Every structure is written in structure tokens, then in C-alpha cells.
Chain A
Amino acid sequence: GENVGLHLPTLSVQEGDNSIINCAYSNSASDYFIWYKQESGKGPQFIIDIRSNMDKRQGQRVTVLLNKTVKHLSLQIAATQPGDSAVYFCTFNNAGNMLTFGGGTRLMVKP
């Protein structure tokens, strides 16, 4: 039968350009946010995190921005490379140690 799956938003960028992946979260009580990267055939891997007392945090080629007013999170990747092609998930903490995962955004890097 027809395979109807989740429609993942897809971002297609040229190698070397900057990428911005956006995420909206729902729980105003969340105070910890993580971006994960999942490459094909692998488990999600931690990229960068941010606490709610910050609005920006930078890592190597990646920056996370948090806007608590509108409950919005973004991941910026500088000088995107083919190895950045993956599905990216934003997550936020929930009750206990649980994380709520967003639906994911697929990043495709064109050489």
C-alpha cells in the first residue's frame, strides 16, 4: 500500500552557505533545550544545549538562539558542509528527566 509517512520539513542549502533551522515549543515551564542531529542509520547525537536563562549560545560552527517570549528556538549552522546533512530535532525538558522531541527538520546540503 501507499507509504504515507511524516512530512518532515526540508531545508536545502548550498555547501558553504549558512543554515537556519527553526523550532517552536509548547511548554512554557521548560528551562532546558537541546538540539540533536540524526544521520541516516544512526541514533540522535547531541549538538548543543541552552538553558532558559540564556538567549544565545555558540559552539563550533553552531549557534542556538532562544526566544522565550514566543517560545521559539533556532539552530544556525555556519558554512554548511555535506556532513551536516541529517535530520535535526529540537527538544525541551519535560517532567522528570524526560525530553520532548519535535518532529524534526531534514537538512540537505547541495555540493
Chain B
Amino acid sequence: DAGVIQSPRHEVTEMGQEVTLRCKLISGHNSLFWYRQTMMRGLELLIYFNNNVPIDDSGMPEDRFSAKMPNASFSTLKIQPSEPRDSAVYFCASSSDRGYEQYFGPGTRLTVT
């Protein structure tokens, strides 16, 4: 099993640009979580999907952030327009209904200049 796959691994962009982060779930998993990690705020849950439906998006910072699951195995997190304060490591994680354990991807390190 390849595990959770995230791309890109690193992204450097200029303020105002659109950024799209991608995540492929582990086969058979049906829950998807997007997290953001910074030195200032630690690990924060942004949004949680179950069976492609957003269940809790209370952690999404503002309207500049949006997340989708176009199919059961893939998700995108989009930031438009990006700002320097969005610089962080973004993780996605997936889990199945068989348990609470979440499997994390390697993360995308985003730098907005």
C-alpha cells in the first residue's frame, strides 16, 4: 500500500497567487482530513470529509480556503488568493470506518512570499 500521497511536496508562490494542494487517500478509506501545522499554532484541523461529504469545515480560516473531493479517493485544498500568513505545512490524512486511526501523508510545505 502506497499510503496517503500528497503533491506537491514543496510549493513556493507569490502573494496573490492561487495554490492547489492535492491528496490521494489510501484505497478503501472513506474519511479525509486536511490539517495545517505551523510553529505558532501547532497542528490544526481545517476540514473533515466522510464519504465525499464535508462534515466539519469550522477550521477553515476564511473564504480564501476551499476543499473538494471530486471522487472517493482524491481531494484538493485550494487557497485563492494566497497570503504570506498561509505559509505552513499542510497535511492530509485518511481513515476508514473500521477505526479512528488516521494515516497521514508526508505533507506539503507551502511558502508564500
Contacts and interface: CB of A to CB of B under 8 A. Distances in A.
B56 A98 contact: yes
| Size category of the binding interface on chain A | 20 to 34
Contacts of B105: 43
Interface in A3-18: 3-6
B48 interface: yes
Contacts of A95: 56
Contacts of B103: 46
Contacts of A61: none
A6 B40 contact: yes
Given A96-B48, A97-B95, A5 B100 contact: no
Interface of A: 3-6, 32, 34, 42-46, 49, 89, 93, 95-99, 101, 103-104
27 contacts: A3-B39, A6-B39, A6-B40, A32-B100, A43-B91, A43-B93, A43-B106, A44-B43, A44-B91, A44-B104, A45-B104, A46-B101, A46-B102, A46-B103, A49-B100, A49-B101, A89-B43, A95-B56, A96-B48, A96-B50, A97-B31, A98-B33, A99-B100, A99-B102, A101-B43, A103-B42, A104-B43
